[in-house]
Amino acid sequence: MIEDKDLAAEVNEKLLSAHRSIVDALKLVEEHGSELELRAFRAGAVNVAGHLFGLLLRPLWQARPELAPEGLDMSPPLKKKGKR
């Protein structure tokens, strides 16, 4: 994904910061928003955080496992057997 080690580390920090911002925004809505606002915002926040992980962080960590959080297994997922 990103070959330069320093650039990959900086991108990793920016992406983790973005994730923390999403979590912080969700906490604000939990504390100060209505239940309806929270449900709508949570759905969007989960969608964005999932895409951030699936499209950017996971591929980065697979290419550069040293950047992945400690204890996170970045092994490729097992392939499912097809139905016959």
pLDDT in tens, 62-71: 999 999 999 9
30, 38 Cβ separation under 8 angstroms: yes
The two three-digit tokens of residue 29, written as one number: 């809505």
Per the structure block, which two tokens stand in for 28? 């604000």
Residue 83's pLDDT is 66
The CB density around residue 2, as the number of other CB atoms within 10 Å, is 16
For residue 21, pLDDT beyond 70? yes
* 7 vs 82: which has the higher pLDDT: 7
First and final C-alpha spacing in the chain? 35
Given a cut of 90, whether residue 82 has pLDDT beyond it is no
The model's pTM is 0.82
pLDDT at 84: 59
Percent of the chain beyond pLDDT 90? 82
The overall average pLDDT reported for the chain is 93
The residue ranking higher by pLDDT, 46 or 75, is 46
Query: Which tokens hold the place of 48?
Result: 């964005």
Tell me the C-alpha distance between 38 and 41, whole Å. 5
